[in-house]
Amino acid sequence: MNDLGFPILSLMLAVPAIAAVICLYVPASTARMVALLATLVDLVLGIILWMNFDIGGAQWQFVESAPLFDRFSWALGIDGISLMLIMLSVFLMPICIGASWQAIQTRVGEYMAAFLLMEVLMIGVFAAQDIFLFYIFFEAGLIPMYLIIGIWGGDNRIYASYKFFLYTLLGSVLMLIAMFWMVNEAGTTDIPTLLNYDFPVAAQTWLWLAFFASFAVKMPMWPVHTWLPDAHVQAPTAGSVILAGVLLKLGGYGFIRFSLPMFPEASADFIWLIFGLSMVAVVYTSLVALVQHDMKKLIAYSSVAHMAIVTIGLFAFNRQGLEGAMVVMLSHGLVSGALFLCVGVIYDRLHTREIDRYGGLSINMPRYAILFLLFTMASIGLPGTSGFVGEFLSLLGVYEVSSLVALVCTTGIILGAGYMLYLYRRIAYGDLTKDDVKAMPDLSAREMALLAPIAAVVLWMGVYPESFLAPMRNDITTLEARIARAKPEGDAQLVMGAAPAKAAEDHGGDHHGEEGAH
């Protein structure tokens, strides 16, 4: 139990779960209210959680455990990393419900129930302390997402829903086999214990690959990313937000929670696999994004590129890389979520995602244009926005390991600027030539209420990232110490061997300079 005197994590799971059941039985308007209320209650609970989180205290806090089941137990608990991702989920959920307020008119109760179920499962994934409980939450997310895409999605929704489901299922099942092996070997299902168990190096390779199959698909990494553009394009706006905002973080969370600390040697062995795929992803998907005509597809491809920055940061094996990867995840969750909302705003007005159908929106939708610009810049990684902090740290981290990887991945920022600014130019600038575009009203109060909080947090994270880094600092330290024994030798350190501490600092400085020059 914790200082609060009640099992807050279970409560956070119970509130949306109960609300989901209620939503199935009430009329549409009530269902919307119930869903909004439940997600707001969860947000408040999340804030209480954050306020009470003891930074620098025990590694695992708010721990609760009940041996309810035969082979595994209802064990929940969070560290700083989980806390931040839970905060991201509970922050985005009310926004998702708000985004669907008018866009969804059919089967509202079931829709809201599916979203609330998603929330339960996402919080569950981040809070689970039992490896099988984690798997159940991790896998169960397929069901509501399949239904969300399939029932409320676009024209090609059936293909997209199948692809999403089968791709991610195939990725995950092998992980289950690996989990069985680990539990048999270590004799426990408790994640904190498993984190400190040293698996034989020979077995680590196979275990790592099994986990990789799952997380790479979820992440998604090139070349198994192809489900993402389809799923994003066909999903309703709120579905895309939750997909980009939280579901893509499951892969990164998996790497940081399982692959790295449990199999440090194997992670080091496969570092070039990760770097290779990530480099391809950054360059290739950015180029693909550049030629898209569909707004959602463009942002989907940009997500793949951003997630590649996460993976290189994670596998840099140093503090900057790990912290950077976490901030990129948080930042991308907010920014891509906001970008999908921005797309949703104009999609609701014109019912097309074709970029060429728009143009000149800064004239008749100034407020929209400003917010869209902010998120565009945040996506590019402009200093002062959240995107900069994460990408800078990640690239700095990976620079210590390999300057080549850093070089290639940094081009992603230039390409990112390319496709995002190009998108922005085509949508917001130019003349208002089309009559239907001319008739589009600016943001409504509801839409402002959805986008403004995200904008505030994006700036907060950009200006004072310490608020978000502080809870994670100890956990990153623990993780860094855990994987230190397998740390690959970086080329940067080889050159600067004489005075490592100072050299690293100088590097940071230089790199910063380059960054500014873009």
Partner 1 sequence: MNYSLWFQLIAPELILSVSSLALLLFVAFGGERVTKLASILSVTALVASSAVALDFLTGDGFSEGADAFYGQYRMDRFGSLMKLLIYGAAIVTLIVSPRWMEARKAMRGEYPLLVVFAAIGMGMMVSSVDLLTVYIGLELNSLAAYVLASIARQDERSSEAGLKYFVLGALASGILLFGMSLLYGFTGTTSFIGIQQAMSDGISNGALFGLVFVLAGLAFKISAVPFHMWTPDVYEGAPTPVTTFFASAPKVAAIALTMRMLAEAFGGMGDVWQQIIIFVALGSIVLGAAGAIGQANIKRLLAYSSINNVGFILIGLATATEAGASGAIVYLLIYVAMTLGSFLCVLELQDKEGRAVELLPNIAGLSKTRPGLAAALAMFMFSLAGIPPLYGFYGKFLVFDAAVQADLLPLAALGIAASVIGAFYYLKVIKVMYFDAPTDVVATDRVAPERMIIITLLAAFISPLGYLLSAGIGYYADDAARALFWAL
Considering only residues 331 through 360, tell me which ones interact with partner 1, judged by CB under 8 A.
none
137 SS3 class? helix
Identity of the residue, 208 or 468, whose beta carbon is nearer to partner 1 in the bound complex: 208
Identity of the residue, 258 or 368, whose beta carbon is nearer to partner 1 in the bound complex: 258
Residue 110 parent element (H or E): helix 108-127
Identity of the residue, 182 or 380, whose beta carbon is nearer to partner 1 in the bound complex: 182
For residue 311, give the nearest of 390, 240, 381, 210 by alpha carbon.
Answer: 390
Identity of the residue, 189 or 331, whose beta carbon is nearer to partner 1 in the bound complex: 189
Q: Minimum distance from CB of 148 to partner 1 (Å)?
A: 11
Identity of the residue, 158 or 452, whose beta carbon is nearer to partner 1 in the bound complex: 158
369 SS3 class? helix
Which residue in the set 39, 129, 161, 331 belongs to the binding site for partner 1 (CB under 8 A)?
A: 161
Binding mask 80-119 for partner 1 (x = CB under 8 A): ---------------------------x--x---------
Identity of the residue, 113 or 450, whose beta carbon is nearer to partner 1 in the bound complex: 113
Considering only residues 54 through 83, tell me which ones interact with partner 1, judged by CB under 8 A.
68-71
Q: Minimum distance from CB of 237 to partner 1 (Å)?
A: 19
Q: Minimum distance from CB of 165 to partner 1 (Å)?
A: 6
Identity of the residue, 139 or 475, whose beta carbon is nearer to partner 1 in the bound complex: 139
Which residue in the set 50, 60, 101, 162 belongs to the binding site for partner 1 (CB under 8 A)?
A: 162
For residue 114, give the nearest of 79, 77, 147, 88 by alpha carbon.
Answer: 147
Which residue in the set 21, 158, 449, 495 belongs to the binding site for partner 1 (CB under 8 A)?
A: 158
Considering only residues 168 through 227, tell me which ones interact with partner 1, judged by CB under 8 A.
169-170, 173-174, 176-177, 180-181, 183-184
Which residue in the set 157, 225, 232, 507 belongs to the binding site for partner 1 (CB under 8 A)?
A: 157
Q: Minimum distance from CB of 166 to partner 1 (Å)?
A: 6
Determine the size of the site formed for partner 1 (CB under 8 A): 34
Cα–Cα separations (whole angstroms), residue 118 to 148, 267, 320, 361, 421:
10, 30, 31, 34, 33
Residues near 277 by beta carbon (within 8 Å), at least 6 away in sequence: 216, 221, 222, 223, 308, 311
Rama region for 481: left / alpha / beta (φ>0; ψ in -120 to 50; rest): alpha
For residue 7, give the nearest of 56, 93, 68 by alpha carbon.
Answer: 68
Considering only residues 368 through 397, tell me which ones interact with partner 1, judged by CB under 8 A.
none
Considering only residues 299 through 338, tell me which ones interact with partner 1, judged by CB under 8 A.
none
Q: Per rule CB under 8 A, is residue 22 in the interface with partner 1?
A: no
For residue 131, give the nearest of 63, 75, 64 by alpha carbon.
Answer: 75
Residues near 214 by beta carbon (within 8 Å), at least 6 away in sequence: 171, 172, 174, 175, 251, 254
Q: Minimum distance from CB of 187 to partner 1 (Å)?
A: 12
DSSP string of 2-45, one letter each residue: -TTSS-HHHHHHHHHHHHHHHHHHS-HHHHHHHHHHHHHHHHHH
Q: Minimum distance from CB of 138 to partner 1 (Å)?
A: 8
Cα–Cα separations (whole angstroms), residue 237 to 33, 102, 240, 343, 346:
19, 11, 5, 8, 11
The whole-angstrom distance between residue 86's C-alpha and the CA centroid of its chain comes to 11
Considering only residues 129 through 148, tell me which ones interact with partner 1, judged by CB under 8 A.
132, 135-137, 139-140, 142-143, 146-147
DSSP string of 302-358, one letter each residue: HHHHHHHHHHHHHTT-SHHHHHHHHHHHHHHHHHHHHHHHHHHHHHHHH---BGGG-
Residues near 229 by beta carbon (within 8 Å), at least 6 away in sequence: 297, 300, 301
CA dihedral 230, 232, 234, 240 (to 10 degrees): 160
Binding mask 243-282 for partner 1 (x = CB under 8 A): ----------------------------------------
Identity of the residue, 21 or 44, whose beta carbon is nearer to partner 1 in the bound complex: 21
The binding site for partner 1 (CB under 8 A) comprises 68-71, 107, 110, 132, 135-137, 139-140, 142-143, 146-147, 150-151, 157-158, 161-162, 165-166, 169-170, 173-174, 176-177, 180-181, 183-184
